[in-house]
Amino acid sequence: MDLQRAADELGVHYQTAYRWVRTGKLPAELVDGRYRVSRDDISAMSARRSTPKAPPPPSASRLGRAAERMHGALVSGDEASVRNISSGLIDEGASIVDVIQQVLAPPLVRIGSDWHDGKLTIWVEHRASAIIERLLGGIVPNPRGRRRGTVMVAAITGDLHSLPSSMAAVALREDNWWVEHLGANMPPDELVRFCEEHPVDVAVISSTNPDTTNLAAETADRLRAAGVGVVLGGPGRTLDDLIEQTRAAASSATRET
């Protein structure tokens, strides 16, 4: 059919159809000085236009504004708003890692700094952390496809902060790993024993307390000697770093199966 009839069939102006032809969006042949379009190409174009497109995930600026609202909700102890902000962003297509890193973590850092400077009381910081712990406990990513392997996540004896390992566990689940989350204050012998008795590919050891750095490093050496890949966490590390290092550790692990 000629281009005018094709435009009528598609319900658009002739100039719109002409622009699609010139940009290659709508295939057409020039015959005797006039564009001709096949009915199959018209049908394909119509199907593409009628298929709904998924909206783009929230932008960085949108996540930044959400972080400001999140800060207010955490300071006031408004757990319902914390959940609504997080679930809304995830429903809009934001990754869980982005929500944790860009919406949850900045307010927690700010609250911790304000407590340190005497601007907030300690219970505000503790309550905010507890709210985030409960929030993360309800997020169960279920990505499609084959799992990459099994990861054990824990904090070593003397490290009582469970929130970093909880964040790591959720992020790794989203990256398609089976995750064994053992929590905080795990004795090294028990941690090693767990990895020996279970098919663990990578052990992720969270370490936020400087006093546990040497113990975490010694435990990592024991695990590597057993052929288990190891990732040591620490202040300033991001979840993106964690995911990249966990994949690399799994590739280099030498454990026999």
Give the lowest-confidence range in 6-15, 122-131, 218-227: 6-15
Task: Kindly state whether residue 232 falls inside one of the protein's structural domains.
Answer: yes
Rounded-to-integer distance, Cα 75 and Cα 99, Å: 18
Claim to verify: residue 129 and residue 67 sit in the same structural domain: yes
**pLDDT per position as a tens digit, 61-79:** 999 999 999 999 999 999 9
Confidence band (pLDDT; 50, 70, 90) for 254? Answer: low
Task: Kindly state whether residue 96 falls inside one of the protein's structural domains.
Answer: yes
Handedness of CA 205, 193, 139, 145 (dihedral sign): positive
Task: Kindly state whether residue 55 falls inside one of the protein's structural domains.
Answer: no
What's at 181, amino acid-wise?
Answer: H
| Token code pair at residue 8 | 């009528």
**29 beta partners:** 36
Beta-strand relationship, 150-156 and 178-186 = parallel
Task: Kindly state whether residue 205 falls inside one of the protein's structural domains.
Answer: yes
Claim to verify: residue 175 and residue 122 sit in the same structural domain: no
Task: Kindly state whether residue 235 falls inside one of the protein's structural domains.
Answer: yes
Region of residue 203 (phi > 0: left; psi between -120 and 50: alpha; otherwise: beta)? beta
Percent residues over pLDDT 90 in the chain: 71
Looking up residue 186, the CATH number of its domain turns out to be: 3.40.50.280
Claim to verify: residue 178 and residue 208 sit in the same structural domain: yes
Rounded to 5 degrees, what angle do the CA atoms 144, 147, 152 make?
Answer: 130
Q: Which of 13, 29, 50 is the last residue of a domain?
A: 50
Domain count, the chain: 3
Looking up residue 103, the CATH number of its domain turns out to be: 1.10.1240.10
**pLDDT per position as a tens digit, 144-181:** 778 899 999 999 999 998 899 999 999 999 999 999 99
Report yes or no: 190 and 219 within 8 Å, Cβ to Cβ. no
Task: Kindly state whether residue 206 falls inside one of the protein's structural domains.
Answer: yes
Claim to verify: residue 206 and residue 246 sit in the same structural domain: yes
Task: Kindly state whether residue 42 falls inside one of the protein's structural domains.
Answer: yes
Claim to verify: residue 218 and residue 156 sit in the same structural domain: yes
| Token code pair at residue 180 | 């064994």
Confidence band (pLDDT; 50, 70, 90) for 257? Answer: very low
Q: Which of 12, 28, 50 is the last residue of a domain?
A: 50
Nearest alpha-carbon partner for 115 in 105, 103, 125: 125
Residue 152: the pLDDT is 97
Claim to verify: residue 25 and residue 108 sit in the same structural domain: no
**pLDDT per position as a tens digit, 115-140:** 999 999 999 999 999 999 999 988 87
Describe the strand order of the beta sheet including 178-186 as a list of residue ranges: 178-186, 150-156, 202-206, 229-232
Report yes or no: 179 and 137 within 8 Å, Cβ to Cβ. no
Claim to verify: residue 190 and residue 224 sit in the same structural domain: yes
Report yes or no: 186 and 230 within 8 Å, Cβ to Cβ. no
Claim to verify: residue 187 and residue 240 sit in the same structural domain: yes
Claim to verify: residue 188 and residue 132 sit in the same structural domain: no
Nearest alpha-carbon partner for 70 in 88, 57, 43, 44: 88
Task: Kindly state whether residue 192 falls inside one of the protein's structural domains.
Answer: yes
pLDDT, average across residues 37-57: 84
* Helix (H) or strand (E) run with residue 230 in it: strand 229-232
Claim to verify: residue 36 and residue 96 sit in the same structural domain: no
Give the lowest-confidence range in 30-39, 95-104, 184-193, 214-223: 30-39
Residue pointed to by tokens 């900045």: 106
Q: Which of 110, 137, 164 is the last residue of a domain?
A: 137
Report yes or no: 127 and 115 within 8 Å, Cβ to Cβ. no
Claim to verify: residue 246 and residue 154 sit in the same structural domain: yes
What range does the domain containing 110 cover?
60-137
Claim to verify: residue 42 and residue 82 sit in the same structural domain: no
pTM score above 0.85 = no
Residue 216: the pLDDT is 94
3-state secondary structure of 173: helix
